[in-house]
């Protein structure tokens, strides 16, 4: 890409002024004939050539003083006013910003304002209010470049609000990071932050930036550090980092978390609970892995070929099956495995007949009773894991709540093992439905083995006993038994005083847990900060996962060159841009 040339005020002597486009490109415009030239012509030789050949140069009486007077008049009332370079009325300017904000929040293309919104508004105004109203609405600037500029202005304002809040947070900030590839195969790094503001814990979108070359840990670290330095912040404000399990993020020697810890030793790294669940499900016995692979092959045989997909759907409709469509299995979408297996089990007879008619050898798997029983068990166990997964998704999920939910499931596993040993398969409804008492013995040992593996895997990936004492007094400081706390703990005196305060007890019963501890920052600063160190860190990367889904809506194949960061901020941020401030500043700039 060629370097953009810059305007020099000395170019006035050639009879030119400068106009700046929305992307910052400067273009020369002749004040004598109003001709606008490309940026490449912003050179003294090109300007002088036009000035001499077209307007006679200084020989025609165009001296520097007269050119400056003409330029001043031109800028006030010349063609620049026709191109929108004079102050727009505040209501029209505000309407332009409001439309741009709606386009961003609804994840629509910038051109929709000019191509659809404005024509519709003009048509409605003409029909309902008359031609005068239509003429007024025509003045609202809604071009593609204008909408892009408006979104950039509002995104910058929202970011400044978030940066101000981060700097003012009384507790250390938690950040969650994840990386994914967009529709143009560009690696995108997304970050959300959680911090304390005005007696509540707030979650906000921080940035979505491309990793332009490689996506190594050093690249991620450099990008994050550069962003914080650009906004006059340091990594010391980090209290915790939550990422997925990729080696780039959690590598022991050169992962992103390791690089951060070298610079900020106090930071704690949490590993997304949802990814722990995904990894724990990989502890399948070899027999179950074979079963899972075989049935995924069957799904791909039907769904991966358009003709087979249509024929199978028609076949299921003809025989009145409960479903007519199979679901794809993916490793990234963690809920897919359970849903795929449940659907396959519900349609296993239909799939067997269809595969047999197609002459596929995969049909043999559906005639093997032991494999069908294994399929039923896998469908049941993965649906239990899916329920856990769903319960831990969403905003405001903290480490205490996530630990409680995961601990509850792990405590069920030993009970389930005892039940199946006694022949009770009530916790596995699909297996209970599919198997007779004799058939259940075929996979009993594999089921017990897998449940034991799950217990060890969850405990290995997530230390359930870690911080149990702190978890109890943070969860309910008034029912907490002080005798279980070490007498040398400096928090104990504050807890004694807290437990004897009836007014604070009443507040605790009415407020959410994080808001309660934020409210105690003044009265019990040490106690509150210790509690917020547990409540502020992210337990999952759910916000990043949801953010990448938003990115798919914004950056489509038709808009694959879009820098979506500004649109993403307005679509995902809970903060509203301060339009009055933006509009007043914009009008002041136009008036000068």
Rounded to the nearest 10°, the torsion over CA 458, 463, 465, 471 is: -110
Query: 584: domain range?
Result: 151-211+541-591
Q: What is the structure's pLDDT at 156?
A: 95
* Degrees, nearest 5: CA angle 487-488-494: 75
* Degrees, nearest 5: CA angle 300-307-558: 80
Among 62, 82, 102, residue at a domain's last position: 82
* pLDDT higher than 80, residue 467: no
Q: What is the structure's pLDDT at 528?
A: 92
28: in domain? yes
Same domain, 339 and 453: yes
CA distances, 316 to each of 201, 344, 362, 475, 488 (Å) = 50, 13, 18, 51, 69
Q: Which long-range contacts (CB under 8 A, 24 or more apart) does 497-504 make?
A: 497/524, 498/524, 498/527
Decide the pairing of beta strands 238-243 and 173-181: parallel
226: in domain? no
Domain count, the chain: 4
For residues 273-279, give the mean pLDDT.
62
Decide the pairing of beta strands 201-211 and 26-30: unpaired
Among 430, 461, 492, residue at a domain's last position: 461
26: in domain? yes
Q: What is the structure's pLDDT at 64?
A: 66
Q: What is the structure's pLDDT at 591?
A: 55
CA distances, 493 to each of 420, 455, 487, 496, 528 (Å) = 49, 38, 9, 5, 13
Q: What is the structure's pLDDT at 158?
A: 96
Same domain, 453 and 375: yes
The full DSSP string for 45-86 is: HHHHHHHHHHH-GGGGT--HHHHHHHHHHHHHHSHHHHTT-S
pLDDT digits (tens, 9 = 90+) for 38-81: 888 888 888 888 888 877 777 666 776 676 666 666 655 544 44
d(CA 81, CA 178): 46
CA distances, 314 to each of 306, 308, 325 (Å) = 12, 10, 10
Judged by DSSP in three states, 271 sits in: strand
**Which of 150-164, 265-279, 349-363 ranks highest by mean pLDDT?**
150-164
pLDDT digits (tens, 9 = 90+) for 554-580: 998 888 888 899 999 999 999 999 999
Same domain, 69 and 34: yes
Same domain, 409 and 509: no
pLDDT digits (tens, 9 = 90+) for 295-337: 888 888 888 888 988 998 898 888 887 787 777 655 444 445 6
pLDDT digits (tens, 9 = 90+) for 428-456: 988 888 877 667 677 888 888 888 888 88
Q: What is the structure's pLDDT at 65?
A: 64
> Is residue 180 within 8 Å of residue 220, measured between CB atoms?
no
Element (H, E) at 427: none
For residues 136-163, give the mean pLDDT.
93
Q: What is the structure's pLDDT at 244?
A: 80
Using a 10 angstrom Cβ sphere, with 0-12 exposed, 13-18 middle and 19 or more buried, the burial of residue 163 is middle
Smallest Cα–Cα separation from 70: which of 55, 49, 52? 55
Same domain, 318 and 446: yes
Q: What is the structure's pLDDT at 330?
A: 54
134: in domain? no
Same domain, 456 and 573: no
Sheet arrangement for strand 187-196: 201-211, 187-196, 173-181, 238-243, 268-271
Which residues have C-beta within 8 Å of that of residue 526, sequence separation ≥ 6? 490, 491, 494
d(CA 431, CA 541): 33
* pLDDT higher than 60, residue 466: no
- CA atoms within a 13 Å half-sphere pointing along the CA-CB vector of 191: 22
Same domain, 531 and 557: no
Kindly provide the b/e burial profile for residues 347-362, where b requires at least 16 CB atoms within 10 angstroms of the residue's own CB. bbebbbebbeebebeb
Decide the pairing of beta strands 238-243 and 268-271: parallel
Same domain, 41 and 162: no
Q: What is the structure's pLDDT at 86?
A: 43
Tell me how crowded residue 299 is: count the other CB atoms within 10 A of its CB.
19
Smallest Cα–Cα separation from 365: which of 344, 380, 336? 344
104: in domain? no
pTM above 0.75, yes or no: yes
Smallest Cα–Cα separation from 575: which of 185, 257, 155? 155
Q: What is the structure's pLDDT at 201?
A: 94
Query: 7-16, 111-120, 257-266: which range is least confident on average?
Result: 7-16
CA distances, 576 to each of 146, 193, 221, 573 (Å) = 19, 17, 29, 8
pLDDT digits (tens, 9 = 90+) for 531-540: 999 899 998 8
Judged by DSSP in three states, 44 sits in: helix
Residue with the larger pLDDT of the pair 460 and 181:
181
90: in domain? no
Residue with the larger pLDDT of the pair 414 and 462:
414
State the first-to-last Cα distance of the chain, in angstroms, to the nearest integer: 32
pLDDT digits (tens, 9 = 90+) for 472-516: 888 889 988 888 888 787 888 889 999 999 999 999 989 999 999
Among 520, 535, 550, residue at a domain's last position: 535
Same domain, 67 and 171: no
Q: What is the structure's pLDDT at 271?
A: 77
> Is residue 423 within 8 Å of residue 437, measured between CB atoms?
yes
Smallest Cα–Cα separation from 444: which of 422, 428, 415, 420? 420
Q: What is the structure's pLDDT at 333?
A: 46
**Residue 211: alpha-carbon gap to chain centroid:** 16
Where does the pLDDT of residue 547 fall: very low under 50, low under 70, confident under 90, or very high at 90 and above? very high
pLDDT digits (tens, 9 = 90+) for 79-135: 444 444 445 578 889 999 999 999 999 999 999 999 999 999 999 999 999 998 998
**Residue 576: alpha-carbon gap to chain centroid:** 18
Where does the pLDDT of residue 291 fall: very low under 50, low under 70, confident under 90, or very high at 90 and above? confident
For residues 386-398, give the mean pLDDT.
84
For residues 183-191, give the mean pLDDT.
91
CA distances, 497 to each of 484, 488, 503, 534 (Å) = 17, 16, 12, 21
Same domain, 426 and 373: yes
Q: Which residues pair with 181 in a beta bridge?
A: 187
Same domain, 309 and 426: yes
For residues 336-344, give the mean pLDDT.
74
94: in domain? no
Same domain, 557 and 520: no
117: in domain? no
pLDDT digits (tens, 9 = 90+) for 194-250: 999 988 999 999 999 998 888 888 999 999 999 999 999 999 998 999 988 666 776
User: E-assigned strands of 416-563?
Assistant: none
């Amino acid at each position: 890409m060629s370097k953009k040339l810059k305007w020099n005020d000395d170019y006035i002597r050639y009879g030119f002024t400068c106009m700046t486009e929305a992307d910052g490109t400067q273009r020369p415009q002749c004040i004598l004939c109003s001709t606008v030239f490309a940026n490449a012509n912003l050179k003294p030789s090109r300007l002088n050539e036009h000035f001499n050949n077209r307007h006679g140069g200084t020989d025609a009486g165009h001296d520097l003083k007269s050119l400056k007077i003409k330029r001043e008049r031109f800028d006030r009332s010349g063609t620049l006013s026709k191109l929108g370079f004079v102050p727009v009325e505040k209501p029209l300017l505000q309407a332009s910003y409001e439309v741009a904000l709606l386009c961003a929040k609804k994840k629509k293309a910038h051109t929709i304002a000019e191509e659809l919104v404005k024509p519709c508004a003009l048509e409605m105004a003409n029909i309902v209010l008359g031609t005068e109203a239509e003429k007024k609405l025509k003045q609202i600037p809604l071009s593609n470049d204008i909408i892009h500029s408006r979104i950039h202005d509002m995104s910058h304002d929202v970011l400044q609000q978030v940066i101000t809040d981060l700097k003012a947070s009384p507790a250390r900030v938690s950040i969650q990071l994840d990386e994914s590839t967009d529709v143009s195969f560009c690696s995108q790094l997304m970050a959300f932050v959680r911090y304390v503001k005005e007696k509540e814990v707030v979650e906000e979108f921080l940035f979505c930036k491309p990793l332009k070359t490689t996506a190594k840990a050093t690249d991620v670290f450099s990008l994050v550090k550069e962003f914080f330095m650009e906004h006059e912040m340091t990594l010391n404000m980090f209290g915790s980092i939550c990422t997925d399990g990729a080696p780039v993020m959690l590598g022991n020697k050169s992962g992103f978390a390791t690089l951060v810890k070298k610079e900020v030793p106090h930071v704690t790294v949490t590993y997304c609970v949802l990814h722990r669940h995904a990894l724990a499900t990989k502890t399948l016995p070899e027999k179950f892995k074979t079963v899972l692979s075989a049935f995924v092959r069957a799904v791909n045989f039907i769904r991966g070929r358009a003709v087979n997909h249509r024929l199978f759907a028609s076949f299921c409709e003809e025989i009145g099956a409960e479903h007519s469509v199979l679901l794809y299995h993916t490793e990234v979408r963690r809920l897919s495995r359970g849903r795929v297996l449940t659907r396959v089990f519900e349609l296993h007879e239909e799939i067997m007949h269809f595969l047999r008619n197609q002459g596929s050898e995969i049909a043999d798997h559906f005639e093997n009773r032991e494999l069908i029983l294994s399929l039923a068990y896998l469908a049941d166990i993965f649906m239990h894991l899916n329920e856990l997964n769903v319960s831990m998704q969403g905003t405001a999920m903290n480490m205490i709540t996530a630990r409680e939910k995961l601990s509850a499931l792990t405590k069920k596993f030993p009970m389930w093992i005892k039940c199946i040993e006694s022949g009770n398969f009530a916790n596995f409804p699909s297996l209970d439905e599919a198997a007779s008492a004799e058939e259940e013995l075929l996979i009993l040992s594999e089921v017990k083995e897998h449940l034991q593996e799950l217990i060890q895997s969850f405990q290995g990936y997530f230390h359930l006993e870690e911080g149990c004492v702190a978890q109890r007094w943070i969860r309910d400081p008034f029912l907490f038994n002080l005798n279980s706390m070490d007498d040398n703990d400096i928090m104990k005196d504050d807890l004694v005083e807290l437990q004897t305060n009836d007014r604070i007890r009443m507040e605790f019963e009415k407020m959410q847990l994080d808001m309660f501890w934020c409210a105690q920052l003044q009265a019990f600063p040490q106690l509150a900060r210790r509690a917020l160190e547990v409540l502020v860190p992210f337990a999952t990367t759910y916000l990043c996962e949801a953010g990448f889904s938003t990115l798919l809506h914004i950056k489509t194949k038709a808009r694959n060159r879009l820098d979506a960061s500004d649109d993403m901020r307005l679509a995902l941020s809970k903060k509203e841009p301060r339009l009055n401030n933006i509009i007043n500043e914009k009008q002041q700039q136009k008036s000068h």
